[in-house]
Structure 1
Amino acid sequence: MNYLDLRLRFAPEVRHPIHQFIDASDAVDRDVLVHGNTLGDEDTFLFYVVGDRNPYAAALAAAESVIDFEITEIDDRSFYTFLKQQRPDVDEAMFAAFQRTGVIVVPPIQFLPDGVATLTVVGEAEALQSTLQSLPAAVDVTVERVGDYDWRQSLFDPGLTDRQREAVRAAVDADYYAVPREGSIEAVADTLDCSTSTAAEHLRKAEAAVMAAFCRLRDYE
């Protein structure tokens, strides 16, 4: 079972009004589609948003495609948005590409400036290839990562290389991270069959990636 991490860039003429708002405003730091229901003629979505509530709500109210919405505060900088909307033509084509046997879209979907959306899809290789080929011309797609899907990895994925994962596992097994430290970098190097400087570099890069991913994860709270 394969997965693809995709980066979609919508052409300016087909961007959703809220996507245009994100491009033009500094009011939103994060806009994430957590869940969605696209059955029937209208779409129902739940978004997690970090930013200023009032400008975001004003943009929703001004969007002709948005039928109704409700905002639920989490704290002074984050909130949920539950909305219903009429489906834009580009979304109709997008959903047709992804809603096929052998393909699953794994939430969340994150919306970024410059008309970009990032998402993960899981499925059979042939069906995934058909999906990519069926995306509308107004949406440019980049495959950022390919691999065998593991749901556990999606819970917290710092994007380590295989060698960095080996280094971290060797360090944990050697009690390198014990308090007080009991293992040594030499023990890690022995397990990896490399020099101590190379082992230390693998660990530094892995630690940097883990901390950055942890901070991104905390941004959802």
Structure 2
Amino acid sequence: MRLVAEFEIYCDALPLVEVATTVPEATILLELQFNHGERPLFLVTVTDGSHQPVANALTDAYDVGEWTLIGQAGDTRRYQVIPSLSFEQQLGVHIDDLAGLEALARADAIIERIEVLPDGWRQTGWFATRDAFNEFSAFWQQNADFQLSRLTRDGESEPPGDGLTDQQQEALRTAYELGHFDIPRRASLQEVAAELDISASSVSERLRRAQTRLIEETVATTWPPLPD
């Protein structure tokens, strides 16, 4: 039975948690490139938060060796990060079972999304069997604070909006409650931004991304394909 799981691992020793703690207003997504030896290359996508505070946080982070800004589109930036520590070096003080940590890399699972939080990681993963998921969750329950948010069978649909980030949900809810979507509109983008204490451009991007996600999950799935 194949499973899809969403969960949080609360451990402040995980890579880039220090960066997320320094710039809590930023949303940080991490991809690991395991074909680069014992120190996998990090591909980091950052939305919200301005570049300079993120750049300073990357420079000062103890677990970052080198970093490069690869590209930017609106408020979204992509960085390539070379870690200064291997996973064993970084987590060895906090995790007794390093052999178990290495075994997780060979498990029948794919972690497709890692969001770095100020106190750990939020992840979405696909697991080939219940045993594979149990092995993964048991390891983190023993070595950190593991909290399961959602577990479904492969192929089961997600409730609309499950794919939104917390910041996107907050932006949508605030804009709705202030009357930004009313006709006539009762609150401007600037007023929503002031309520959230972020820039109008950041609010605009969060709302666009959230609305696009909701359309993809609901309306778009009912449309017939476009003619060639």
Classify the TM-score, shorter chain. Answer: 0.5 to 0.7
Q: Mean alpha-carbon deviation: is it higher for 72-81 or for 18-27?
A: 18-27
Structure richer in strand, relative to its length: 1
TM-score, normalization by structure 2: 0.57
Rate the CA distance shift 1:213–1:48 in 2: closer, same or farther, 3 A.
closer
1:35-184 aligned within 5 A: 35-37=32-34, 40-50=37-47, 51-85=49-83, 86-89=85-88, 90=91, 93=98, 95-101=101-107, 103-135=108-140, 137-150=142-155, 158-159=161-162
1:138 Cα deviation (Å)?
4.3
Please state whether the residue corresponding to 2:37 is helix, strand or coil. Answer: coil
Cα distance between partner residues in 1 of 2:101 and 2:33: 12
Rate the CA distance shift 1:120–1:216 in 2: closer, same or farther, 3 A.
farther
Cα distance between partner residues in 1 of 2:161 and 2:25: 27
After superposition, the C-alpha distances for 1:102-157 in whole angstroms (9 at most, x for unaligned) are: x222312112343342222321111221121122744211222222213x968x96
Cα distance between partner residues in 1 of 2:5 and 2:150: 5
Percent identity, aligned pairs only, is 14
Rate the CA distance shift 1:69–1:134 in 2: closer, same or farther, 3 A.
same
Number of equivalences: 162
- Please say which structure displays the higher CA radius of gyration: 1
Cα distance between partner residues in 1 of 2:77 and 2:44: 8
The alignment yields a C-alpha RMSD, in angstroms, of 3.5
Cα distance between partner residues in 2 of 1:34 and 1:27: 20
1:2 Cα deviation (Å)?
2.1
- Name stretches of at least 5 consecutive residues in structure 1 with no aligned partner: 161-210
Rate the CA distance shift 1:106–1:157 in 2: closer, same or farther, 3 A.
farther
Amino acid at match of 1:64: Y
Cα distance between partner residues in 2 of 1:73 and 1:144: 32
Cα distance between partner residues in 2 of 1:38 and 1:134: 23
Equivalent in 10, 28, 31 of residue 31 of structure 1: 28
